[in-house]
Amino acid sequence: MWFFTSPKIVFGSGAVEFLASLPTKKAMIVCDRFLAERGTHQVIVEQLAKAGAKVEVFGQVEPEPHIATVEAGVKLARSFEPDMIVGLGGGSAMDMAKAIYALYERPDLTIYDITPIVELNLHQKARLIQVPTTSGTGSETTWATIITEGEGGRKLELAHRDLVADWAVLDPMFPSSMPPKLTADTGADALAHSIESISSEWANPFSDAMGVKAVDTIFRYLPKAVKGDHVPPEVREELHLAAAMAGLSFGNAQVGVGHALGHALGSVFKVPHGRTVGLFLPYHIEYNFSAAREKLGRLAPVLGDSTVRNGRDLAGKVRALWDQIGMAKTIPECAKITEKEFEEKLPLLVERADSSTCVVSNPRIPSSQELERIFRAAWSGAPIDF
């Protein structure tokens, strides 16, 4: 027995106008600080005004958001009492919206209670709407939220089925202005979601359908979106939908050791999420291939039989894409740190990866020693041969 959980989805050009049709009295928009400064949220405000809603904007979400920001947002929500919460932005803003939403709906809980194995019974006071402005995180379609404990602190991997939005609004107008580096980082995250979830022990026919389609789209379109001076709108739209599909894939099958390693590196050395999980994706494939040969073989129709014959070739296919879009393939290319700093922090990196919930459905259960060996391989660029 298992579930496939998805928000209702409105997509395509003009999708944002759908918000005007939802009966709403008070809406709280949770968005990234730089989006609030640029006024991106005004597009949402206009639509909500058509619905006659009063709007409050919580525009303080920082990258890799902290618990303190959740608390500030919850305070605002409790005094404003919205019947709609809108997450607008990349993964940070949408994750923040989920955390604020949960604690607004359930004032009796703390953030640590947001685990998949308790009853939350949300969606009583407000609707949750997610509007992604980047194409990668997949947070708009998932039940997961990543909140950092504090400066340099651990990343809490919180999840609950009730955190899935009522509606995901996929309007390609938002990602159209993403700069190339952000397009590459977020696209790499989406590819990591797809491939890690296809290899997961929890993979199922529904998640696979989404994951395989997303892999096909990302390999086809990501180089065009990163390299072109003028990115055609249909390329942006394809990638925007693929990111949501990759979210449906991993949201229903889990990511794996690649994300465990990425979260550890990102939290210790403050590197953006997409860059770290992109870096570890080829290592995830090489490490897991022997245990996930059949599952990863499902990529044959889109990547070719010869590519999925062994881990080295499949990882090589990803590395070739990383070369095309300028993604880092080793830790020194990804994080500006010295070997001494790396060695000093290696025990902490291993401990954080070790305690990540992302390893729970990984095809191989990595020992602490193996995690250390993967970190070292990712430092030097050596292939995984154990």
Partner 1 sequence: MVKFPSQEWIEQFKEKVNQNAAYEDAAKSWEGDFIFLVEPDGALTAPVALYMDLFHGKCRDAKMLATPDEKSAAYTYQGPYSNWKKLINKEIDPIQGMMTGKFKLKGNMMKIMRYTRAAKELINTASTIPTEFP
Contacts of 343 (CB under 8 A, 6+ apart): none
x-marked contacts with Fe ion along 153-192 as a string, rule CB under 5 A? ------------------------------------x---
State the nearest-atom distance from the C-beta of 344 to partner 1, in Å. Answer: 20
State whether the Cα torsion 279-281-282-284 is positive or negative.
positive
Residues 95-114 interacting with partner 1 (rule: CB under 8 A): 112-113
Residue whose pair of structure tokens reads 């949770």 in the numeric block = 30
Contact flag: residue 372 with partner 1 (CB under 8 A): no
Cβ density class 219-232: b for 16+ within 10 Å, e for less: bebbbbbbeeeebe
Contact flag: residue 117 with partner 1 (CB under 8 A): yes
State whether the Cα torsion 224-37-8-259 is positive or negative.
positive
Helix axes 339-354, 257-269, angle to 10 degrees: 130
Query: Which does residue 79 bind out of partner 1, Fe ion, none, counting CB within 5 to 8 angstroms by kind?
Result: none
Contact flag: residue 367 with partner 1 (CB under 8 A): yes
CA atoms within 13 A on the CB side of 181: 5
Q: Toward partner 1, which CB reaches closer, 98 or 213?
A: 98
H helices of 121-256, where? 180-198, 205-227, 233-251
Q: Toward partner 1, which CB reaches closer, 154 or 193?
A: 154
Contact flag: residue 116 with partner 1 (CB under 8 A): yes
Q: Which two tokens stand for residue 22?
A: 């939802």
Query: Which does residue 355 bind out of Fe ion, partner 1, none, counting CB within 5 to 8 angstroms by kind?
Result: partner 1
Q: Toward Fe ion, which CB reaches closer, 29 or 222?
A: 222
Q: What is the CA radius of gyration of the chain?
A: 20
State the nearest-atom distance from the C-beta of 274 to Fe ion, in Å. Answer: 7
Full DSSP string of 107-124: TT--GGG--TTS-----S
User: Which residue's beta carbon is nearest to the bound Fe ion?
Assistant: 189
What is the C-alpha separation between 95 and 70, in angstroms, rounded? 10
Contact flag: residue 359 with partner 1 (CB under 8 A): yes
Contact flag: residue 3 with partner 1 (CB under 8 A): yes
Contact flag: residue 201 with partner 1 (CB under 8 A): yes
State the Cα angle at 272 between 269 and 274, rounded to 5°. Answer: 130
Contact flag: residue 355 with partner 1 (CB under 8 A): yes
Residues 242-281 interacting with partner 1 (rule: CB under 8 A): none
State the nearest-atom distance from the C-beta of 304 to Fe ion, in Å. Answer: 26
Contact flag: residue 4 with partner 1 (CB under 8 A): no
Task: List residues binding partner 1 (CB under 8 A).
Answer: 1-3, 112-113, 115-118, 157, 161, 201-202, 354-355, 357, 359-361, 365-369
Task: List residues binding Fe ion (CB under 5 A).
Answer: 189
